[in-house]
Amino acid sequence: MSEAETGENIRVLVADDHAVFRRGLEMVLASEDDITVIAEADDGRQAVDLAVELSPDLILMDVRMPQVSGIDATRAIKEHLPDAKIVMLTISDEEDDLYEAIKAGANGYLLKEISIDEVADAVRNVHAGQSMLSPPMATKLLTEFAAMARKGKEERERSAPRLTNREMEVLTYVAKGMNNRDIARELFISENTVKNHVRNILEKLHLHSRMEAVVYAVREKLLEIT
C-alpha cells in the first residue's frame, strides 16, 4: 500500500552497529513511497537519544549493540515514549533475548535471515498495530506459552484482575494478532473505543505492550495452543 493510499508516511529510525546493514535497509526502504528512514543510530544510547528527539513512528532495533544493548534501549525508549513501535531486527535467536525484548515492550522480533524485501511489509504491519515474529521465534514463544499455561492455574485464578466481558473479547482478538481497525469492525464499535479498551486492559493487567497481552491471553487459555 502506498503513501497515497494510506495518507501518511511512516518515519523510521534504524539502530544497528553494522553500517553496511544500516545502509542496505535504508536503500530498500527508500524505494517505498510510504516509508522514510529519518535517522540512523550505531549504538543503543544514540538510538534512545534520537528516538526521544525525533519521535519516529517505528524503530528497527538490533539486539546486540555497544554502549547500550537494543533491549535496554527499547526499555528506555518505552519509558519516554510509551506508544513507540519497536521491532527487533537481529541475528540473535536466543530465547532469553526474545523474552527480554517482549518484556521491554518490543512490538516485533524478526531475524535478519528474512528477506530484506519483507522488512517494508513488517514496518507497515507493526505500524498498523500488529505484532510480528519470525516463524522460528514464534515457535519458541508458543512453546513457552504452552508451558506457562500448565503452571500455577489456581494461583492465577486467585490473583487475576477482573476484565469486563467486552475487554475479554477485545483481548482475545488482540491475541489473534488483529489490529484496532479490524477489531472495531468485528465488534461493531469505533476504533477509538477499541483503543480505550486496549489501554484499560494493559492498565488492569499491569502490562506494557500488546505482545505481553498475547502472553497473558495464552497463559489464561483464551487461545488454544496445540
Contact 98, 166 (CB under 8 A): no
Q: Provide the phi-psi class of 55: left if phi over 0, else alpha when psi is between -120 and 50, else beta.
A: left
The pLDDT, as a whole number, for residue 161 is 65
> Lowest mean pLDDT: which of 3-7, 86-90, 181-185?
3-7
Strands (E), the chain: 10-15, 35-41, 58-61, 85-90, 108-111, 132-133
Return the bridge partners of 40, or none.
Answer: 14
Same fold, 3-133 and 143-219: no
Cα dist. 42→13, 57, 60, 79, 101 in Å? 11, 19, 12, 21, 19
Give 98-126 pLDDT, tens digit per residue: 888 888 999 999 888 888 778 899 999 99
Give CATH superfamily name and number for 3-133: Response regulator (3.40.50.2300)
Second-level CATH architecture of 143-219: Orthogonal Bundle (1.10)
- β-bridge pairing 10-15 and 85-90: unpaired
Give 131-162 pLDDT, tens digit per residue: 888 777 777 776 666 666 666 555 555 555 67
The pLDDT, as a whole number, for residue 114 is 82
Give 50-63 pLDDT, tens digit per residue: 999 999 999 999 99
Q: Write down the domain spans for the chain.
A: 3-133, 143-219
Quote the Cα angle for 74-10-96, to 5°.
25
